[in-house]
Structure formats: structure tokens, C-alpha cells
Structure 1
Amino acid sequence: MYVFHLAAEVTWTAASQQESFSIQYTPAKLADGIYGLRVQVSDASGNDSGVQPYEINFEVINESTITNFYPYPNPFSTQTRFVFTLTGELFPEDIKIQIMTISGRVVREIFMDELGPINIGNNLTDYAWDGRDNHGDQLANGVYLYRVLIKNPGEEFKHRKTSADKGFKNGFGKIYILR
């Protein structure tokens, strides 16, 4: 068994009444690939924190890519949030989600500052769309199209393919409102 002391790469925050104990692992730049991380913590008396170490696998992708945005849940009755993955080190300068009728009329635009914090890795927006248009009026049940516009002068985010891409046609996805 190898024990590595990664003090320079690991920071931790003690548990309090407001927050749980947390560990943050920030390694030097890793090559593309799939990695595993195993954590076993012990107290000052040498008692392990659990029977088994905590283990997690993660993938490193250094190229700046972004997946399609997927509404979750879809269909929805009260609200839906957007799920997407961002890789690399760069953040988009601007993101805009346009929701439109089947005929192409834009009924709602959601801007980057509404989405909440964006992280490298998997994202679930803080913003939850409630099926209302730009004027606050409730939209009718049915199918709506949406697209995501990403602005980043001088740097293009490549599309990261996923198995769910078959639900998109020419950059447009569908959202279903069922109340």
C-alpha cells in the first residue's frame, strides 16, 4: 500500500453547523485521461473516517469544449433547469438560451447572468425556467424549440459530443411543457 501526502494539492474545511466537512483536490495540470482518487482520513488518534476509503473516478479533458444544454426534467410542468458540461480551462464570455415557438418566434431569452455560477465540469443551472415568456406570461402546453448561443471572441468552444445529441437538429433542441 502506498500512502501519498499531497499537502500542497489538498485543502480541507472542517465541519460546522452550517457546512459539512469538505476536501478539495487541486492537482497540477494532468494529461487527458481517466483518473481515480481514493481518500481515507483519520483523526488525531489514528481512527479511520470509515470502513472503506472514499473513491471517485474523473476524466480530464484539457481542450475547451461544451456539450449541448439539456433541460431537466423534460417534459416539465412547473420548472426545468439546464444541464451541460464544460471542459478545458476557459469560460464562455457570454451564453444566451433562446426559447421559441415551433414557427421560430423567440418567446424567452435566458442570459448567462441568470444561470448562476458556471464551473469547469458538469453543471446544473441554478436558474429554473418556469415556462413563462419574456413578459412573464405563462406559455401554453406544447413543444418549444431552444438553442444556446455562446460568445467567446478569439476562442471557439468545440462541441463535445454525447449520446443525447440525437435529440438535437441543426443546433436546436426541444422542450415540452405539460401542465
Structure 2
Amino acid sequence: VSPTVYDKAKVEKTLGQDPTSFEVNYEVQKNIIYKGKSTVSNGDFEYSFIVPKDISLAYGYGKLSHYANNDIHDAMGFDTSIIIGGINTNALSDSDGPQIEIYLNENSFVNGGITNSTPTLIANVFDSSGINTVGSGIGHDITVIIDNDNSAPIVLNDFYTADLDTYQSGEIRYHFPSLDAGPHQLTFKIWDVNNNSSEVTIDFVVQNDLDVSLDRVYNYPNPFTTSTEFIFEHNQACNEMDVQVQVFTVSGKLVKSIHTNVYTNGYRVNGIYWDGKDDFGDQLAKGVYVYKLKATTIDGRSAEKIEKLVLLK
């Protein structure tokens, strides 16, 4: 079941911008105190959370909204008789902001990596007191800012969902509209229910996928003794690619060729394994080698990069 708990309704006004119209008061109940997921067992479920300090302290009627499904049936219901308000003067002291792990498109994304022009922000967050999504405290929204444009923050309160059976951790997913090609910087900020904040900044590069592009081509570990893995980033998400790694001596002699076919769910390929042996199965001598990594799409487009590795054994 997916419960959503709303703060009290607020009175707002229409804009009254049309010459023939006038301002009209209306009520709206949209500030979310808690949004999560709970396990249902034999028809019963329960959940708990800490109410944010940013709620309106006046007492009034909040709202519980529940939605459930079991892949066969849907169920929903609500309750508007719950009283919300006041403050707990004996609440536990908390001065630490939330912990943040942030990615673009996939959890293997690394700072400075490649994305498409419409990446998906993935933020995994944790706080012992819970995350503030109310949106009624000035400056206490979950926000993301692109390229230091503080005049246009994107508010993500409604995109947060707590993890199953806990109020302490959750995830934000947000799909960006089209971004210009080139380097960008993203700053993500989030608050806990006690109004402590945390912020993290990452860099990324938007590349179109018309031409194949490779970046961050390396092997790990490097130097190595017994085995290593080749890793690279690209701009061909959800495409099938033929990957070739050729290892050469510094004098230019080809000693090892590796071919593999990969289907890319994201923008990073991990784990092309090499045991440090040549094409005949013999252990190569220790020293410096050069390798060329080439990636080719099924329609023949390709890109390649040349790097160095060191074999210690």
C-alpha cells in the first residue's frame, strides 16, 4: 500500500488577471508530510514517520490517502478526520543533514560522466529523522539547480518516495527536459524534518548519440599482476555494440585481441576481463603495454580510444 499524508488545506486566490474576472478564494490541500510504501499482511498494514517542523502549527484537519494493488486488483481510500498541528517540545535533538547518493540514468554513473540530453536524476537519500517534503517552509524544498542558475530551481518535493516499510530512506527520480550538448553542473539540496540540509554537486557532459563517443576509457586495476578489467563510458544507451580491445607492445606488436558483444542499458560498460595472457595463452612479460578499445554499433558507427597499461608480473 502507498500512503500519502497531507498537511491541512490552505486558502489560495485565483489570479484575476482577465479584465472581466476577479479574485476568488479556494482551498487546496497539497503539502505532503509523508509519502511511502508499506507491506500488507493478511489485510493489515502500518506505517510511522516523524512530522516535519515545517507544518502549519495551527490545529486542523489533515488527510490520509491510501492506494494499494496486488497486480490483480486496485484499492484506494482516504480519511480527512485526522488532526494535525502543534509541536513536540520533547523531540529528539538532531543537527545532521541527510546522506545523499546521486546518479544520472543509472547507479553506475560517476562524476563527470556522459549522459543523453534528457537524463534521469536518481537520488538515494537517508536521514534518521526522515525527509522534509512539506514545502511550506521558505527555502526548505528538495531542489536541483542546473549550471548555478539559482533563479530557476526545480522543486522535487512531489518526486520523493520513501522506501518500503521505513520513513528514514527513499528515492527521488526526475526526468529532465532537453539539455544542451556540452558540460553541465548539477546541485542537489535536501532537508530533513528538523530543517537540517545537505547538498551535493556533480558534473556531467551531455552528448548526442548520432556519432559514437567514448570517454573515461581505462583498465582497473592498473598496474596489475594477474588480471584486469576494461571499463569505458559511451553515448549509445540501450544499443547493442561490438567491443574490441587490442593490446600491443610499445614497439607496436599485437599480442592480444579481445572481442565481446554488449547490450548497453546505460552509458557505462564494466568488466571486460583480461588475464594478462597473449592470444596463445602464454603469460606476457612485465612492462608497459598500449591498448586500443573500439566500440561499434550494429549499424556500423564506431569510435576508439588508445590508453596504456602496466603489467607487473
The reply to whether TM is greater than 0.5 is yes
Q: Deviations over 1:46-100 (max 9, x none)?
A: 345xx43231223241323212622233221233233433247574622211224
Give the C-alpha shift of residue 177 in structure 1.
0.7
Change (3 A) 1:79 1:27: same
2:278 & 2:164 partners in 1: Cα distance?
42
Say whether residues 1:144 and 2:289 are aligned partners: yes
Deviation at 1:134? 4.4
CA distance in 1, matches of 2:306, 2:234: 19
Whichever structure has more strand as a proportion of its residues is 2
Q: 1:131 corresponds to which residue?
A: 276
Match of 1:34 in 2: 184
* Larger helix proportion of the pair: 1
Q: Deviations over 1:126-160 (max 9, x none)?
A: 3442313345543332233321122125574567x
Q: Which residue of 2 aligns with 1:70?
A: 218
Match in the other structure for 2:163 = 14
**What residue identity is the alignment partner of 2:184?**
I
Is 1:95–1:151's contact at 8 Å kept on the other side of the alignment?
yes
Q: Is the 8 A contact 2:241 2:297 kept in 1?
A: yes
Q: Deviations over 1:10-29 (max 9, x none)?
A: 4657278xxx8544333222
- The alignment's C-alpha RMSD in Å is 3.7
Partner of 1:173 in structure 2?
307
Among candidates 227, 230, 248, match of residue 79 of structure 1:
227
- What SS class does the counterpart of residue 258 from structure 2 fall into? strand
In structure 2, the residue matched to 1:119 is 266
Q: Which sections of structure 2, spanning at least 5 residues, go unmatched?
A: 1-138, 142-153
Cα distance in 1 for partners of 2:160, 2:229 equals: 31
Unpaired segments ≥5 residues, structure 1? 160-170
The residue type equivalent to 2:174 in the other structure is: Y
* 1:22–1:151 distance in 2 versus 1, CA, 3 Å: same
Q: 1:47 to 1:132 in 2, by over 3 A?
A: farther
What residue number does 1:104 align with?
253
Structure number with greater CO (CA < 8 Å, separation at least 6) is: 1
TM-score under structure 2 length normalisation: 0.39
Change (3 A) 1:128 1:77: same
Contact 1:76/1:177, CA 8 A, preserved across alignment = yes
